[in-house]
């Protein structure tokens, strides 16, 4: 895409009143305003040339902007009128108006089962709970599919030709030669589409027929639609909610439970659930509809919800019913007596905000997302949950976020195919016009002068010529390519993309868009389960001025292999440390936390030991985890965040085990110096939960000794201001940040210097397209010489540490790695020094891509707590501005903390993710990460996965902090001026929602986003993910987008993209089922795109070009022959050979070319990802290349026809006296032309064009040619009755007539040598004088390949006295100047 300017808005950010054109003009202005003034001492002619060039480009930009604006306005008008006239007018599907004050749902048990509620917006019942993802119904399938099939230009063309053939006297080739194959092809395609849609219907049916427990009135269970005959609440049981549980788990201890209650639970199908139903869910049961919680059996009425299929997050969410419902809904009797009303907002797609209220006995409380659960969630770790349904079916959040109007995908290459077909239609009409004109001339010169020649009407002549040459647009292109793609999909089953751990190979759900895998420009990736395993591991901690590596959860192969040596080292170190504990670090400096614990055990009263114990206690107490004992007696933790589980497990490893969490307390099992365990109880007075605004969590604890302690954990920038020594901490953090900034600047300068060594390339995802016979590659090849690589350039290849491998500490002017695990009691006693070292360690952890937290604590008096507690209670029960008041109350107690320490957690990436992203970026693919996680988490993962470098400039768009228009304006300036070598844009779901409300801001955002190197979209809902993909597609219409994810929340994004890939991961198979392709690991994307995608695009491109070329050669000879038969439409070729030309004689060449072609080896394509630009730049097939093939084919046809015509001119005397002559009738002449054509086509396609030559294509070439001569033998043996009324004398023609003539064979061989020689010469000239990058790498492969070039490079370094570069086998042997950066 060609960008026009960098895009800013006028002063004041007044964007709402700007039109689209005005916005684009403002966006385009900054490039010229901010460009430095050029020197005036330039030659006049250069100034004039530059001025003319700028004027030309300015005019072209204005024309393109106007064309795009006109196209957008036409599209919008069509959509508007389609919605008004068709959807609302014809189909009567009008949008519902908003309700007055929300949806009113009475809280009356079972009433809606007899009297369904009415939706005030429509005056009808609320929508059913049935869902539908299939695209067709029984009635709509045939008309919709027929419309889609014949909206393809080629299919419509063949339909017209087939109809013309039905007219008597118009078709020289029969009536059903076109309409028959077309009908079979369309029927086959429709059957495939129908099967795919039937599979979607089956998945919908599985959901709609699932069962859930619904509270129904007495005696009506058997009358409920879809209800099970057996009720779950039988006579004689207690009045609790639970059935099927033992007395320990059932909620049957509430007062008022009666035996034999009248109402009961009935199992009802999901599709029959109604708004207002009271539903009971058990552990691990899916939520059938959006519900407001009424009761949960967890501690403090807490239910734990798995929202993995909804927002992609694997951490459990804690939900609680409203405080008004406490003790009101825990038995059947109480549910029956419940009376109140629930009011909630109209259905919408916002997953992260909910507004409602509940009224019980005149008292009203607000409802938020904390009190509701949405369809797509699953109940976890909660025995029983009861809720009232508020939204059903297509009005549920997950369905409103689904992409319900899915368009059938078609490959990008179809654009060129359609253009070629359209051009050939005009060429066919032009040839027909020429032949018709030739007939008029021939009629005037010959026909009128010879009375025995019967005149013909114009219509048979014109339409006969069209039908005669109609196969210039071959139907075989669309038939054979479906077969080829079927085999291509089968060949994708690569062992290198097989995951042995899960026994999961690649799965291909559609073969329609295989070639798009080789043209991807943007990748939109989910985070959880796609890039990461979502397996948090506690890695490092800093306490008392010392940094420690937590290696208890790591497998150390070296130490495991040498246990005796490890024990001896530890014993000797500890023996020396005991003699001088104040300087223990001199001898005891093992960095593992095991060593720290051993030191604490031996020296419990030192300053470091006291700080370390208190820090571990803070980790063990400040969390919301719930311990749960398994059947084996092990303790597992459930929490709302996997980070908290990692922290608590680390505390457990270090002797602080959370064994129980009863109401308002935490029980810890501690291990003393003697190894004995004891249990202590800590009373939880208050928990102030984490929020995206606060960025911290606090807990108020009453210690066993009665003191009250406030413990707070959060981001370092948040904790700094709340420390007792906040001024010192801020100063220290600023200094650490300055040093880090210097390091990033040096790395950025190194990256800019590396890029400057390569030819400039556009910032956009796919730059200008080179010419067909460009001269660029010669200069590129010069840059590939190993001697040109300096040591500095080699070092620049390493772009810093990667978390996926072994992280290495980056350069700092004052290394902190040397003090890791070194205890110095003097430093531990110096608070200022501890703060300084702590922030240095935290900065190091963050640079390595770890997720960091700081802990602070302070002790408060009883009076101070009571005063604060009153304020906090008032805030939590407030209806107006409740969240704001809670945050203000929390601020008052979260002050004057002592620094406890810091932690670092690693979110394990999937294997090979950083390397894969690095190679995809080298392939000029922009990678965007779309996740439902919070911003800080997303940025940390982006750094770990190499989406953001250590030197990257991160731009954050936040509508709550600043004006987004002004922020985008500043980012535009930075990006356009090239201030950063790598820029990353971070935007959240709320900010994107603000942008969506303003068309000018939306256009500005996407204009900015396509220029940024990477985009991180956090807190994104499924519908926003799909909107983002669609926005990029609209902004850059020539791009190919790929979306990859593993959860149900990724489905809409996958369906909105050109290519959708699902990962068969922890979140199930929802995405893998609906995606176009599914793989087991993100790293397989590297091979899928760079190797198979490249091959598939190349194969399909060559297949299309060769198919059109062979038809052009075949039928242009036919057209030239018309001059010799009076333009009568007589075919040069016998009708059977005409039919079998595409089906038999030339089908194998294009089939094996489209199936087996490989221009380069997988090793080369993986080592040099820049070669992927072949598809991005449309170098495989474009109009210039098509013109070159047509030109070459025209030369071939002229040469073939001249050779054939001259041979028959020489043999006009076919009498027995002329020994050199043979049968000079039509059949030998057409057979000679076909012989040259068939041999030439097979040789050119399978030998000259096909690079990957094996015995299979060579055998196919020999077989195709043999089939032609075998055909001549067969038809020559047929009885004469099959040709007695035909102008072709085929009976014994080949065996007894021209097949015995030496001159016929000699001319055939000469003709073949001429046309093949001309094509071979053109190929040789192109490879010698105009080589492409692929040609150069093919030569390198012939000389040993990438490995040999790497060895040669190392030898050159050794000769120059330089140290050889140590690189992994798969690392690129060259820098990024190979291709793509031109």
Mark whether 818 is an active-site residue.
Answer: no
Torsion of CA 1260, 1262, 1267, 1269, to 10 degrees: 160
- Distance (Å, rounded) from C-alpha 383 to C-alpha 247? 12
- Distance (Å, rounded) from C-alpha 117 to C-alpha 114? 10
- The bridge status of strand 953-957 relative to strand 983-988 is parallel
> What angle do helix axes 179-208 and 153-164 make, rounded to 10 degrees?
140
- Distance (Å, rounded) from C-alpha 142 to C-alpha 148? 10
Torsion of CA 425, 430, 434, 440, to 10 degrees: 90
Cβ–Cβ < 8 Å for 1251, 1159 = yes
- Distance (Å, rounded) from C-alpha 764 to C-alpha 521? 9
- The bridge status of strand 340-344 relative to strand 103-106 is antiparallel
Positive or negative: CA dihedral 16, 22, 25, 29: negative
- The bridge status of strand 898-909 relative to strand 532-543 is antiparallel
Least Cα distance to 1236 among 1300, 1301, 1308, 1293 occurs for 1308
- Distance (Å, rounded) from C-alpha 1223 to C-alpha 1228? 7
Least Cα distance to 273 among 259, 257, 256, 290 occurs for 290
Between the two ends of the chain, the Cα-to-Cα distance in Å is 15
Helix (H) or strand (E) holding 1272: helix 1255-1276
- Distance (Å, rounded) from C-alpha 247 to C-alpha 241? 12
Going by C-beta distance under 8 Å and a sequence separation of 6 or more, which residues neighbour residue 1014?
A: 926, 927, 928, 929, 942, 947, 948, 952, 982, 983, 984, 985
Q: Could you give the count of Cα atoms lying within 13 Å of 370 in the half-sphere of its Cβ?
A: 13
Going by C-beta distance under 8 Å and a sequence separation of 6 or more, which residues neighbour residue 113?
A: 214, 216, 217, 220, 224, 274, 277
Least Cα distance to 805 among 883, 890, 717, 906 occurs for 906
Q: Using alpha carbons, list the distances in angstroms from residue 547 to 825, 906, 907.
A: 14, 16, 19
- Distance (Å, rounded) from C-alpha 243 to C-alpha 233? 7
- The bridge status of strand 626-629 relative to strand 635-638 is antiparallel
DSSP code per residue over 936-1004: HHHHHHHHHTTSS-TT-EEEEE-TTTS-HHHHHHHHHHHHHHT--SSEEEEEEHHHHHHHHT-HHHHHH
Size (the chain), residues: 1382
Which one of the listed residues 330, 465, 526, 716 is annotated catalytic?
A: 526
Going by C-beta distance under 8 Å and a sequence separation of 6 or more, which residues neighbour residue 395?
A: 126, 127, 290, 347
Least Cα distance to 934 among 992, 849, 1015, 1019 occurs for 1019
- Distance (Å, rounded) from C-alpha 1093 to C-alpha 1097? 6
Torsion of CA 1088, 1091, 1094, 1095, to 10 degrees: -110
Cα 660–Cα 666–Cα 667 angle in degrees, nearest 5: 55
Least Cα distance to 762 among 57, 55, 3 occurs for 3
Residues annotated catalytic, as ranges: 526
């Amino acid at each position: 895409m060609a960008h026009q300017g960098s895009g800013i808005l006028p002063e004041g950010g007044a964007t709402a009143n700007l039109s689209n054109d005005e916005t684009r003009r403002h966006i385009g202005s900054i490039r010229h305003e901010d460009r430095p003034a050029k020197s005036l001492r330039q030659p006049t002619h250069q100034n004039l040339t530059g001025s003319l060039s700028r004027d030309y480009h300015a005019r072209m930009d204005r024309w393109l902007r106007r064309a795009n604006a006109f196209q957008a306005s036409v599209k919008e008008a069509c959509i508007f009128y389609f919605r008004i006239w068709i959807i609302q007018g014809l189909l009567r599907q009008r949008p519902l108006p908003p309700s007055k004050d929300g949806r009113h749902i009475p809280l009356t048990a079972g009433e809606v089962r007899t009297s369904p509620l009415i939706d005030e917006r429509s005056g009808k019942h609320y929508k059913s709970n049935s869902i539908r993802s299939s695209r067709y119904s029984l009635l709509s399938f045939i008309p919709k599919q027929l419309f889609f099939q014949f909206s393809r230009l080629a299919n419509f063309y063949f339909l017209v030709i087939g109809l013309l053939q039905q007219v008597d006297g118009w078709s020289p080739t029969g009536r059903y030669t076109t309409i028959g194959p077309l009908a079979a092809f369309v029927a086959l395609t429709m059957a495939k589409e129908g099967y795919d849609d039937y599979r979607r219907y089956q998945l919908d049916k599985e959901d709609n027929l699932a069962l859930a427990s619904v509270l129904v009135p007495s005696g009506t269970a058997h009358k409920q639609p879809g209800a099970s005959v057996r009720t779950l609440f039988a006579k004689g049981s207690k009045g609790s909610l639970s059935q099927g549980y033992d007395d320990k788990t059932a909620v049957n201890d509430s007062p008022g439970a009666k035996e034999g209650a009248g109402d009961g639970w009935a199992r009802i199908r999901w599709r029959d659930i109604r708004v207002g139903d009271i539903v009971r869910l058990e552990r691990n049961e899916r939520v059938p509809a959006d519900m407001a919680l009424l009761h949960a059996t967890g501690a403090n009425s807490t239910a734990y919800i798995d929202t993995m299929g909804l927002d992609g997050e694997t951490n459990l969410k804690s939900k609680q019913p409203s405080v008004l419902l406490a003790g009101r809904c825990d038995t059947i009797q109480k549910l029956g007596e419940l009376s109140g009303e629930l009011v909630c907002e109209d259905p919408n797609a916002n997953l992260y905000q909910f507004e409602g209220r509940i009224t019980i006995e005149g008292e009203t409380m607000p409802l938020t997302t904390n009190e509701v659960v949405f369809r797509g969630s699953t109940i976890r770790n909660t025995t029983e949950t009861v809720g009232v349904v508020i939204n059903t079916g297509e009005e549920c959040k997950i369905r409103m976020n689904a992409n319900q109007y899915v368009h059938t995908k078609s490959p990008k290459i179809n654009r060129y195919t359609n253009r070629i077909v359209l051009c050939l239609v005009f060429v066919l009409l032009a040839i027909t016009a020429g032949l018709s004109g030739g007939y008029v001339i021939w009629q005037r010169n010959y026909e009128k002068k010879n009375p025995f020649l019967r005149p013909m009407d114009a219509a048979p002549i014109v339409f006969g010529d069209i039908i005669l040459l109609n196969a210039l647009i071959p139907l075989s292109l669309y038939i054979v390519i479906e077969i080829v793609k079927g085999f291509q999909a089968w060949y994708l089953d690569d062992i290198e993309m097989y995951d042995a751990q899960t026994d999961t190979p690649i799965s291909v759900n559609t073969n329609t868009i295989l070639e798009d895998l080789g043209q991807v420009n943007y990748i939109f990736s989910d985070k959880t389960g796609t890039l990461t395993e979502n397996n948090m591991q506690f890695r490092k901690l800093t306490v008392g001025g010392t940094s420690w590596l937590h290696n208890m959860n790591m497998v150390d192969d070296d130490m495991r292999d040498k246990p005796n040596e490890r024990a001896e080292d530890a014993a000797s170190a500890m023996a020396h440390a005991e003699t001088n504990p104040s300087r223990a670090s001199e001898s005891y400096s093992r960095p593992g936390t095991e060593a720290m614990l051993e030191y604490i055990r031996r020296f419990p009263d030192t300053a470091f030991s006291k700080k370390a114990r208190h820090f571990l206690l803070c980790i063990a107490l400040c969390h919301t985890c719930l311990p749960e004992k398994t059947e084996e007696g092990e303790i597992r933790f459930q929490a709302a965040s996997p980070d908290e589980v990692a922290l608590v497990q680390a505390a457990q490893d270090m002797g602080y085990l959370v064994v129980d969490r009863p109401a308002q307390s935490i029980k810890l099992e501690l291990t003393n110096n003697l190894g004995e365990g004891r249990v202590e109880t800590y009373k939880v007075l208050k928990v102030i939960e984490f929020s995206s605004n606060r960025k911290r969590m606090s807990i108020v604890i009453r210690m066993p000794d009665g003191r009250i302690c406030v413990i707070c954990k959060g981001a370092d920038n948040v904790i700094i201001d709340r420390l007792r020594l906040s001024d010192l901490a801020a100063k220290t953090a600023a200094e650490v940040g300055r040093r880090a900034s210097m390091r990033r600047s040096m790395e950025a300068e190194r990256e800019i210097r590396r890029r400057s060594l390569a030819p400039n390339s556009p910032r956009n995802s796919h730059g200008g397209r080179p010419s067909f016979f460009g001269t660029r590659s010669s200069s590129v090849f010069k840059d590939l010489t190993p001697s040109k690589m300096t040591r500095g350039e080699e070092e620049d290849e390493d772009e810093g540490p990667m978390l996926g491998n072994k992280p290495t500490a980056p350069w700092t002017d004052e290394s902190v790695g040397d003090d890791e695990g070194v205890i110095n009691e003097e430093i531990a006693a110096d608070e200022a020094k501890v703060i300084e070292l702590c922030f240095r360690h935290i900065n190091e952890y963050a640079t390595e891509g770890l997720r960091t937290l700081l802990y602070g604590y302070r002790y408060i008096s009883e009076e101070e707590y009571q005063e604060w507690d009153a304020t906090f209670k008032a805030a939590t029960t407030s209806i107006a501005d409740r969240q704001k008041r809670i945050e203000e109350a929390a601020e008052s107690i979260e002050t004057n903390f002592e620094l406890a320490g810091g932690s670092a957690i690693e979110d394990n990436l999937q294997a090979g993710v950083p390397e894969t992203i690095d190679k995809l970026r080298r392939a000029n693919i922009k990678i965007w990460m779309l996740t439902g996680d919070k911003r800080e988490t997303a940025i940390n993962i982006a750094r770990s996965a190499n989406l953001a470098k250590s030197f990257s400039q991160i731009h954050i768009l936040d509508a709550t902090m600043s004006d987004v228009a002004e922020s985008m304006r500043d980012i535009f300036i930075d990006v356009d001026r090239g201030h950063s070598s790598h820029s990353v844009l971070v935007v959240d779901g709320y900010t994107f929602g603000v942008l969506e409300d303003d068309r000018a801001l939306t256009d500005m955002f996407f204009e900015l986003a396509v220029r940024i190197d990477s985009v991180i979209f956090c807190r994104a809902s499924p519908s926003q993910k799909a909107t983002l993909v669609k926005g990029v597609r609209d902004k850059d219409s020539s791009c190919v987008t790929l979306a990859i994810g593993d959860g149900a929340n990724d489905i809409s994004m996958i369906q909105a993209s050109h290519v959708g890939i699902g990962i068969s991961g922890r979140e199930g198979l929802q995405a893998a089922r609906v995606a176009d392709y599914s793989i087991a690991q993100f790293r397989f994307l590297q091979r899928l795109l760079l190797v198979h995608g490249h091959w598939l695009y190349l194969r399909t491109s060559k297949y299309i070009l060769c198919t059109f070329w062979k038809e052009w050669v075949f039928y242009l000879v036919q057209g030239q022959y018309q001059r010799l038969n009076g333009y009568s439409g007589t075919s040069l070729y016998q009708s059977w050979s005409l039919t079998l030309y595409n089906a038999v004689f030339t089908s194998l060449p294009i089939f094996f070319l489209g199936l087996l072609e490989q221009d380069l080896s997988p090793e080369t394509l993986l080592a040099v990802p820049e070669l992927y630009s072949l598809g991005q730049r449309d170098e495989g097939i474009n109009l210039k290349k098509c013109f070159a093939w047509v030109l070459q084919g025209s030369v071939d046809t002229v040469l073939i026809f001249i050779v054939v015509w001259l041979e028959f001119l020489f043999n006009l005397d076919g009498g027995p006296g002329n020994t050199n002559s043979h049968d000079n009738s039509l059949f030998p002449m057409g057979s000679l032309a076909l012989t040259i054509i068939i041999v030439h086509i097979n040789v050119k396609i399978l030998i000259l064009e096909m690079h990957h030559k094996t015995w299979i294509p060579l055998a196919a070439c020999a077989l195709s040619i043999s089939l032609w001569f075998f055909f001549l033998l067969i038809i020559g043996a047929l009885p004469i009755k099959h040709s007695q009324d035909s102008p072709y004398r085929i009976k014994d023609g080949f065996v007894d007539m021209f097949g015995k003539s030496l001159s016929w064979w000699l001319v055939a061989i000469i003709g073949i040598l001429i046309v093949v020689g001309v094509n071979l010469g053109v190929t040789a000239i192109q490879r010698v004088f105009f080589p492409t990058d692929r040609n150069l790498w093919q030569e390198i492969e012939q000389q040993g390949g990438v490995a040999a070039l790497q060895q040669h490079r190392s030898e050159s370094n050794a000769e120059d006295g330089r140290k050889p570069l140590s690189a992994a086998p798969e690392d690129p042997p060259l820098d990024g100047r190979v291709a793509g950066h031109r």
